[in-house]
Amino acid sequence: MDDKNTNVTKSHKVLLANRKSGAFSGVVDVLSFDVAEILLETELGMLLIKGHDLHVNRLTLRKAVQMMAVSAAISEQAASLGVSILIGGALFLLYDIFRIFRRVVPHGNFWIGVEDFFYWLCCTAVVFVMLYRENDGMVRGFSIGGIMIGMLLYYFLLSRFVIRINVMVFGTVFGLLGKIFGTILLPFRKHGKKIIHFFRKRLKKVCRAVKIGLCKL
C-alpha cells in the first residue's frame, strides 16, 4: 500500500516536440544550467538535458512553492508573537492604572480585591480573544511566552516611570481641584452651618411643645 501511494504522489512527465522544445513536470530543483546542458532534479531522480542554445521559458519549482509557504508561516507566527508581546505590555499597563488609582485615591482591601477580580477577568477575556483571532483558538507556547515577555519588558523598562509620572501629575491636579472647590464651597459651608443650627433649635422647640402637650393630657 505504501509503495502504491508513493508512486501516485510522485509523478514526472517529459514531453518533447520535434526535439526543439519540451515540457517537464515534477521538477524539484535546477542544479545547473547553461546553453549546452541543463541538470534537473525531479521527483523520480536526476535528468540531464544536452543540446545547443538551450534556454528556459517558464519555471515553476515545488521546492520554491514549499519555501514560500514556510516563509509565509514564519511571517504569520512572527506577527502573532509581536501581537502577543504588545498585549502583554498593555495588560501590565492596565494593572499600573489600578496601582496609580490606589495611590492617588487610597481605599480599603475590599475594593482592592474587587479591582483585582475585574482585572484578571479582563485579562482572561483579552487572551481568549487573541488566541481565537490569531491562532484559531489553539493555545500555542509562543503566544503565551510573548505575553510574558511583553509584561516583563514593560515592567523593567516603563512601569516605574509611568507610575511616578502619573502619580505626580494626578496628585497635583487633584490637589489643585480640591483647593479650588474648597474655596468655592467655603461660603456655602458657613451658611450651611447656620441653617443647620437654626433648624436644630426649631426642632428642639417643637419637641418640647409636644412633650408639654402630652403631659397635660
Q: Is residue 89 part of a domain?
A: yes
Asked if residue 96 and residue 29 are part of one domain, the reply reads no
CATH classification of the domain holding 53: 2.60.40
Give the pLDDT confidence of 164-195 residue by residue, as tens digits: 998 888 888 877 887 787 777 666 666 666 77
Please indicate, yes or no, whether residues 54 and 141 belong to a single structural domain of this protein.
no
The number of folded domains in the chain is: 2
| 156 located within any domain | yes
Q: In this structure, what are the phi and psi dihedrals at residue 53, rounded to the nearest 5 degrees?
A: 55, 50
Q: What is the mean pLDDT of the chain?
A: 78
The answer to whether residue 210 scores a pLDDT higher than 70 is: no
Q: Is residue 211 part of a domain?
A: no
pLDDT value, residue 3: 45
> Does residue 7 carry a pLDDT above 60?
no
Residue 45 lies in a domain: yes
Question: pLDDT category, 157, cuts 50, 70, 90?
Answer: very high
C-alpha cell at 50: 544536452
Domain residues for the domain of 56 are 6-60
Q: Model confidence at 42, in pLDDT bands (50, 70, 90)?
A: confident
Residues 168 and 79 in one domain: yes
In-domain check, residue 160: yes
Domain annotation covers residue 158: yes
Same domain membership, residue 99 and residue 42: no
pLDDT of residue 58 exceeding 60? yes
Sheet of strand 45-50, all strands in order from the earlier edge strand to the far edge: 27-33, 37-42, 45-50
Q: pLDDT by residue (tens digit) across 13-35?
A: 777 777 777 777 777 777 777 77
Q: Is the pLDDT of residue 205 over 50?
A: yes
Contact 55, 36 (CB under 8 A): no
Mean pLDDT of 68-89: 77
pLDDT band at 203 (very low <50, low <70, confident <90, very high): confident
pTM: 0.53
Return phi, psi of residue 37, to 5°: -155, 155
Q: Does residue 116 belong to any structural domain of this protein?
A: yes
